[in-house]
Structure 1
């Protein structure tokens, strides 16, 4: 497909909300009619499938790809990935601990790129390095809108040696813009606090499912302005 984008989402500190944002973006991109898959690149994250509420759904997880070699058929792989009811496909770690070599990650992304419009990758902060983030077209750094959260985001950006798109959660737009300017980053979005996200997560309802909320509206704007120019989410 043309213009496929690989978009990595990284949390700037503990509890930043990066996984929730990735889930919401995947749900909204899928609702917009884009072919999208979410890829878990954080073995310590608990499993991205949990964020989508599909941890009990059958399908391929990373441990099933261990030992494979050569190019991966992206279409065949995508068809075997778990998904919810009419939702995006998800490649996640299961409940079995394993590590994914960079070579396998690159082959997997290459195969999936061929059959998708957008790939959203959840990368763990502890594994983010200049080399690891360089493989992605876009890098979104999510920070809590507190002094500690913004300081952690600044430290993370310095460590990965790349200027990311900054998303601030739980701050006013003016304060978030001032913080972004101070950190030398472009402010991509300001996410309002939505207490229903935690309740929905407990019920297995993925973020982004409530089409009428301020949080989802900001996710839709981010998709339009940054990830999917010229396309509106549903």
Structure 2
């Protein structure tokens, strides 16, 4: 409890940003509640809750592990929602999906063929978002697999470490932000108007700086002087 109090008191602004993103993710999950992959998305959402609790409690390795699980399952479910046969094999345990296939530049979620069919507006930002996905996954993995540089940072007991807490919050913010972008890329254009209306405020709040979102939401584009 002392750790939780110290962690939350020292990082209020960062925690608020993460919880704001998490609340917007919950709205997306409600909009997608009738989709076949919603069960996997809800399960991953619970993993994020465990990750957040672990980070605030000083269980840092477990916090990064659960955060990576959230990222893998969420982005994997989003990707496989476009491949129903493979999605069913994944759910039944026949198929294992690799992170490299999800993030493949040739066939993955941010490959040109995928974006061309689901969200061509995001084509120009695909490399940036894909890099953010890979960075978040890599950093979580370094804590999970005991890389020397990260293992030396971890305390041997449950004690507050501001640097690790800040890094988890930063990684969680990047993870949630890119996850919301993945949801937009895959689902937005296929949502009924009621669903679009529900999540448009979130998209504008987090991504109004992106030309793709401004086009999708029919917001005015910046006019640069010639």
User: Fold match, TM over 0.5?
Assistant: no
Which structure's relative contact order is higher, taking Cα pairs within 8 Å and 6+ residues apart? Answer: 1
Q: Going by fraction, where is strand more abundant, 1 or 2?
A: 1
Structure 2 length-normalised TM: 0.29
Q: Going by fraction, where is helix more abundant, 1 or 2?
A: 2
